[in-house]
Structure 1
Amino acid sequence: MAVASYVCVAWLAAILVAANSATVSLSDSKTAVKNEEKEQNVSASRTARMTHCRPGWKQYQGSCYRSVRMTANVNWHEAQTVCNDNGGHLPTISSEQENTFVYNMYSSHCLFTHRRYLGFHDGVNEAHFKWVDDSTSSYTKWRAGEPNDSGSREDCTHMYGNNGEWNDISCTNKYFNCFLCEDTQACPHGWVPFGGSCFRQFYHASALSWHETRAKCRTVGADLVSVNCEEDQKFLDSFMTGRSWYYIGFTDASGEGTFRWSDGSTSTYTKWLANEPNNAGSNEDCAVAHIGRGWNDVPCHNKYRHYYACEIN
């Protein structure tokens, strides 16, 4: 994963908390609370635009959602900043079905929040509302008489807690401490997003060497997977469940003893098994990973069946 800073720093620093988890302050919004997250198994089988969500996020159509509860009330801008810091944004809505989903999730995770932030604003051009992700949906659900820009200072939007209708509100008033974030990591159909990259398992009828496996990945615009931290490895262990050994993009073919990632990643993280790498036979220049155990260096011409993983950065 070439975007190591996202996966191994911002990901560990997520303040996004489930409804039953501890609250956090805005000043602590980048403090790690990773220990409350649980590993989830990953399946590459998806319908169009469906994604696999990070642990603690809930999937709906092509997006992932999660609630955040702060120790104190925050305004719209602060809520949006918290979502941005963790790879997402306030919810965007393009249909009645999506509005119902967001309304119901707010109802179950932010029980006493009557005004529920949405990522819709006209702060740039009065009366021309736009979504924070620049999506262009024409769907709206304004309450009768809204938006009315009361006091000439209502440039942001909330959803009412009793019926899901929308109202424009001040962007700077601190109305509540619980809100939803949406993550719309977009990957090609059949690929699974994680930490700024997209992953997919492939099946090949015959066993493949390291170079053959990498060539297969490159034909689909990808590369062999890279592993920049423990969270990456846990994800891959889950993603490749049942596959035993599989190639990763780590090799010292260009300089014995100096392993490099094939996609250019510069992470120093490793998970070698005991006494590895040992370059047995003086020809072990490529790395394989064993689910739940660690890495081993092997001859690059060794062939492994039948599944392999590719990554798009």
Structure 2
Amino acid sequence: MEETCLLLILLLSGGLSTLPPHSREYQFVNQLMTWTEAQSYCREHFTDLVTIYNSNINQLLLSMSPNIDTFAWIGLYDDRYSWKWSMEGKLFYVGSTHEFLIWANGQPDCVNAKEYCVALQGQTQMDDRPCGDSYPFLCYNASSTSYILVKESRSWSEAQSYCRTYHTDLTSIRSKEEKSNITLTLNGSGVQYVWIGLYRDPWAFWSDNTTSTFTNWEPSQPNNYNSAQYCVTMYFMSGKWSDSACNEKADVFCFTGEVQNANTIRSCHHVKH
């Protein structure tokens, strides 16, 4: 038997500016699944895994859950291949294999949930690194179509500012020819790591493709323990979030509807399977 709780968010005239504008029903599914299984289940039986837009909704979901020492999946996940180029500002998929973009062994791994910028390691392979680390960096100058290695170590954002001030931007690598020219520029430089213009936004994706910047992490989270935690659970005892391995099993929060606003009616019923 599976207990499903429905939490109906009713549309208010005027509403609250911090909430989306339409009604949603929330369902707590007391059934253990992986994150992918939970996503499929929610999409088949309801609309999708839940998106949490603010503390009010977080608290409402917590009120639906049993007061026990366990967790439930929400829709937030971290896509470790959602990289963008500084020069273009557009999403550019950089998978594990590519003709001219090659990740170093075991990369990207987002150690301690802190590595969201990319440096070339050994001049040819990419490695995700903490954006606050200081390394030499490679600028691109569009007017002279040249690559400029700056050996002064700076953080990724400082390197980006420098390149945009004195050249065009941090370099991108979008062709074999660019990769070859960059390799020639770095040849003999002796640098171990050098920043390039590749970066990503952490925890930027919800399963239903809507946008929410609200977070409610546990104090030590996210930490990407063992470099394997890219999905998010809510803890029933506190309503706080943790990053978890996506193949772990947990209960599930789903929703039915579009986007939402604020008054609440709660009802629970039992569903037999």
TM-score bracket, normalised by the shorter chain, equals: 0.3 to 0.5
Per the normalisation by structure 1, the TM-score is 0.37
Select the structure that is richer in strand: 2
Per the normalisation by structure 2, the TM-score is 0.42
